[in-house]
Amino acid sequence: MSPICALLCTAALFVTPCTAGVIDGDSEKFPGLISSGITFVEFYAPWCTHCKTLAPELDKAADRLQGVANIVKVDATQNEALAKSYGVEGFPTLLLFQDGKVVPYKGGRTAIDIVNFIQKLLEPSFITLTTKKEVANFQKGKKLKLILYTHGNNLSGKEAFLSYANANRDAFSYAVVSDTTLFENRSSDFIEMHKPFDNKKSTLEDVTEDSLTEWLRLESFRLFDEIGPTNYNAYMKRGLPMAWLFIEGLQKESKEAMEFVRRVSSDFKGKLSFVYLDVNKFAALAEQFGLHDRAYPAFIIVNAQQETFRLPRAEITAGSQLRSFCSDFLEGKLSKTMKSQPRPEGDRDGDLTIVVGSSFPELVENAPNDILIVFTAPWCTHCKALHPVLLEIAADCRENPHISIATLDVSKNDVDSEKFLISRLPGIYFQPKGSKPVSYEGERTKQSILDFIARHKTEVNERDEV
Using CA atoms, how far residue 383 sits from 106, 294, 378, 425, in Å, is: 31, 27, 8, 7
**Low-confidence stretches of the chain (pLDDT beneath 70):** 1-20, 319, 460-466
Torsion of CA 323, 329, 333, 334, to 10 degrees: 100
Distance from C-alpha of 262 to C-alpha of 274, rounded to nearest angstrom: 8
Sequence-distant (6+) residues with CB within 8 A of 80 are none
Question: Domains of the chain: which residue ranges?
Answer: 23-122, 127-220, 224-331, 348-456
pLDDT for position 418: 79
Q: 209-219 and 155-167 are packed helices; what angle lies between their axes, rounded to 10 degrees?
A: 50
Read off the amino acid at residue 41.
Answer: V
pLDDT for position 434: 87
What percentage of the chain exceeds 70 in pLDDT?
94
| Fold (topology level) of 348-456 | Glutaredoxin (3.40.30)
Backbone angles phi, psi at 4, to 5 degrees: -65, -45
pLDDT for position 121: 86
Distance from C-alpha of 146 to C-alpha of 126, rounded to nearest angstrom: 9
pLDDT for position 11: 35
Exposed/middle/buried for residue 447 (C-beta within 10 Å: 0-12, 13-18, 19+): exposed
pLDDT for position 460: 58
pLDDT for position 341: 87
Q: 252-265 and 319-330 are packed helices; what angle lies between their axes, rounded to 10 degrees?
A: 50
Sequence-distant (6+) residues with CB within 8 A of 8 are none
Q: 111-122 and 49-64 are packed helices; what angle lies between their axes, rounded to 10 degrees?
A: 50
pLDDT for position 216: 93
Distance from C-alpha of 72 to C-alpha of 100, rounded to nearest angstrom: 14
pLDDT for position 329: 97
Q: Which CATH number fits domain 224-331: 3.40.30.10, 3.50.50.60, 3.30.950.10, 1.10.1240.10?
A: 3.40.30.10
**CATH code for 23-122?**
3.40.30.10
Torsion of CA 259, 264, 269, 275, to 10 degrees: -40
Domain 127-220 has CATH 3.40.50.1400: no
pLDDT for position 171: 86
The rounded Cα 78 to chain-centroid distance in angstroms is: 28
The reply to whether domains 127-220 and 348-456 share a CATH topology is yes
Instruction: Give the residue from 443, 463, 464 showing the smallest Cα distance to 452.
Output: 443
